[in-house]
Structure 1
Amino acid sequence: MIYLDNAATTRPYPEALATYTEVASKIWGNPSSLHQLGSQASRILQASRKQIADLIGVLPQEIFFTSGGTEGDNWVIKGVAFEKEQFGKHIIVSDIEHPAVKESALWLKTQGYEVDFAPVDQQGFVDVEKLATLLRPDTILVSVMAVNNEIGSIQPIQTISDLLKDKPTISFHVDAVQALAKIPTATYLTDRVDFATFSSHKFHGLRGVGFAYIKNGKKITPLLTGGGQETDKRSTTENLAGIAATAKALRLAMERQEEFTHKTSQMKQVLLQGLSAYEDIRIFSGQDQFAPHILTFGLKGVRGEVLVHAFEEYGIYVSTTSACSSKAGKPAGTLLSMGIQSQLATTAVRMSLDLENDMSQIEQVLTTFKIIYEQTKKVR
């Protein structure tokens, strides 16, 4: 088996699974309980929080645990909107955001908010000059992802941070789900970023766990109320075992980030060269200013899901861009925003690499693609 769908989810590190099992079986007290078992659980919870904070260069009190990226995005978009409603009801999100951000913003429109979508250029990068023209006195939130999940374009977060530097009344959110442990943290977690969201299973942690960064002093309305956990910002008993496993996975992933970048970049370059040799191939992901591990391309005249299943017959697992949208059978929204025609956008296939992949697998992928290319000749 060759697994090239790591942007959808990664295989948990064995060490993270071991941590989960140990904590789940031995530290089963509720962190909110006053007795010794609760105190023991609370200590592990806070130690995990501190480790994660230290790894990304923020304060422990700025880390809040969630169930993943989707909850985090929903919480920030809606929670900031509700909190700052008296100051304005205008929100800007980029046109290539994950559905968790886009759909949250569209839902807010039904609640009386105004939403503008910042356009991107033909390569999939937010046009900062056009974003600047959308800013208004009543703008309360700007949300731009760090790394696009469909083509891997690294967004100009520092440039947007500079744009918002003298606009302290506007909150700035970054969906960093595809960025953490993949590109340098400083490129997307700038001093101007107020909120950021992360998901454990993207860096070899477990599914169903994530965390949000909320800068000290920034207010947000809770979506979950009840027991007052997470300093009353997110009520529900914490997934202690999953959180501890997240801290372990993040430490390991950050230790291997330089190796990850070097190795995946090399494999991506070989894939790019191999695929570009075919006449009917359209490459959507570049090398410069793109994540090292994501490569999206299309085979003209062949729908993406057809190519996915063709690869699967040879034990190679890829995806049609966003995993969250693939079953809907819709063309990649990012490609449409880039001006790619719908018919070509439906051909998109995403390969996403990891340290567990190697050059022998890449060679096998290219050999297999040559067979598939010939098999689809009549269709094309």
Structure 2
Amino acid sequence: MIYLDNSATTKPYKEVLNTFIQVNESFYANPASIHEAGVESNTLLDRARAQMAKILGTDDRQVLFTAGGTESNNFAIFGIAKANTHKGKHIITTEIEHASVLESIRVLQADGYEIDYLSVDSNGVISLQELQEKLRKDTVLVSIMHVNNEMGAIQPIEEAAKIIHESSRATFHVDAVQSFGKMPIYFKDDAGPDIISISGHKIHGLKGSGVIAFRKKMNIAPLLLGGGQEYGLRSGTVAVPQAVALAKAARMAVEDLEQSMKKYRKWHNELMEFLTSFGSVIHILSTPNGAAHILSFSVKDLKGEILINALQKRGIIVSTSSACSSKQKKTSHVVLALKTPPNFVNGVIRLSFGGLTTDEDIQQFKKAFTEVMKELKGE
């Protein structure tokens, strides 16, 4: 099987799995317990937290472990909104956010918050001028994803951060689920986000692991109430094995980042040229300047499921634009926001690379896709 659906999830590295097993076997005590075994577990947890903080460029106490990207996004949005109503009830986001952001914001809208959505151009990128114009004195939160999960558009995060911090009191949240470990994302004084969401299973870590990290101490409402774990912001016994495994995956991703980015860009460029050779029957949603590890395209008048099944018969695993919503029968909100031509909206396919992708995988995809296109033409 050739797996090209790494933006949906990745296969855990063996080293990460081994770390997870070892911690479960030897450090299974509750890290909140005061006995020796608990202290040992807590020491390991602190070490994982410090490693994540160092990678992101923040303080240890500004890193909280969660169950994944969706929880981290929910935590950031609800937590900031509810704790800062004295500043206002105006929120800015974009038309192409992940559902975990958009659905959270819709709940707040029903609760009286006013929402402004930033549009995107044909490349999937927001207008910084529009962002500037929509910022208000009562803007409490701006949430903008770094890399779009469906077609790989990269948002100008640093420029947006500067505008937000200079022109408002709003907190700037960045969904970095599709960028962390694939391209640089970290805190840089005011020229960066205030909050970052990360998911472990996107970087060859484990499902059910994630991080929400802060640039500095923030006024944020707790996500879960109970025993006061994670500095009182996320109660419940901390999953030490997941946290340590995530830190391991993050270290491996960062260590290999430069080499991985070069490989992804090479494959991205090669496949862009390959797909372009098919002419007007192919519409490419991704752009040369987008994230190198994501490439989305569509075949004219063809449902994506047909192409996915045809490739699967040849041992190639790809997905429609978003695995999180691919089983739904409605057109993706991202595809609509990009003003994709009507003949192409139902056939969007996403290829996404990971740390285990090889040159041979790319060549096999090209061979299989060529065969499928000939088959569909009846040749």
* TM-score interval for Structure 1 and Structure 2 normalised by the shorter chain: over 0.9
Q: Which residue of 2 aligns with 1:287?
A: 288
**How many Å separate the matches in 2 of 1:111 and 1:189?**
33
Over 3 Å counting, the alpha-carbon distance change for 1:189 and 1:10 in structure 2 is farther
Kindly, what percent of the aligned residue pairs are identical? 38
SS at match of 2:173: strand
Conservation of the 8 A alpha-carbon contact between 2:58 and 2:187: no
Q: Which residue of 1 aligns with 2:51?
A: 51
The within-5 A match list for 1:111-260 is 111-186=111-186, 191-260=191-260
**How many Å separate the matches in 1 of 2:173 and 2:296?**
26
- Alignment deviations for residues 147-177 of structure 1 (CA, whole Å, 9 cap, x no partner): 1111111101111112113235111000000
**How many Å separate the matches in 2 of 1:57 and 1:78?**
24
Give the letter aligned to residue 163 of structure 1.
I
Deviates more, 1:53-62 or 1:164-173: 164-173
> 1:186 Cα deviation (Å)?
4.7
Q: Which residue of 2 aligns with 1:330?
A: 330
**How many Å separate the matches in 1 of 2:342 and 2:189?**
34
TM-score, normalised on structure 1? 0.96
Give the letter aligned to residue 18 of structure 1.
N
> 1:343 Cα deviation (Å)?
4.6
SS at match of 1:282: strand
Over 3 Å counting, the alpha-carbon distance change for 1:132 and 1:61 in structure 2 is same
Give the letter aligned to residue 292 of structure 2.
P
Q: Which residue of 2 aligns with 1:364?
A: 364
Q: Which residue of 2 aligns with 1:31?
A: 31
- Alignment deviations for residues 55-104 of structure 1 (CA, whole Å, 9 cap, x no partner): 12211111001000000101111111101112211101111100000110
**How many Å separate the matches in 2 of 1:58 and 1:10?**
26
**How many Å separate the matches in 2 of 1:190 and 1:21?**
39
**How many Å separate the matches in 1 of 2:354 and 2:197?**
21
- Alignment deviations for residues 20-62 of structure 1 (CA, whole Å, 9 cap, x no partner): 0000111110001111111011000000000111112211111
Give the letter aligned to residue 43 of structure 2.
R
**How many Å separate the matches in 1 of 2:109 and 2:348?**
30
**How many Å separate the matches in 2 of 1:364 and 1:137?**
54
**How many Å separate the matches in 1 of 2:147 and 2:96?**
10
Give the letter aligned to residue 88 of structure 1.
G
**How many Å separate the matches in 1 of 2:165 and 2:218?**
16
SS at match of 1:356: coil
- Alignment deviations for residues 237-259 of structure 1 (CA, whole Å, 9 cap, x no partner): 11110111011111111100111
- Alignment deviations for residues 156-206 of structure 1 (CA, whole Å, 9 cap, x no partner): 111111211323511100000011111122599964421110000111110
Give the letter aligned to residue 254 of structure 2.
M
**How many Å separate the matches in 2 of 1:187 and 1:2?**
35
Over 3 Å counting, the alpha-carbon distance change for 1:188 and 1:7 in structure 2 is farther
**How many Å separate the matches in 2 of 1:119 and 1:189?**
27
Give the letter aligned to residue 53 of structure 1.
A
Conservation of the 8 A alpha-carbon contact between 1:263 and 1:355: no
- Alignment deviations for residues 107-155 of structure 1 (CA, whole Å, 9 cap, x no partner): 1111111111111111100111112221122111101001111111110
Aligned residues: 377
TM-score, normalised on structure 2? 0.96
SS at match of 1:85: coil
Is residue 2:78 matched to residue 1:82?
no
SS at match of 2:221: coil
> 1:350 Cα deviation (Å)?
0.2
Deviates more, 1:330-339 or 1:81-90: 330-339
Deviates more, 1:156-165 or 1:43-52: 156-165
Q: Which residue of 1 aligns with 2:108?
A: 108
SS at match of 1:125: coil
**How many Å separate the matches in 1 of 2:338 and 2:131?**
15
Conservation of the 8 A alpha-carbon contact between 1:165 and 1:192: no
- Alignment deviations for residues 204-227 of structure 1 (CA, whole Å, 9 cap, x no partner): 110000000123221110121001
RMSD: 1.5
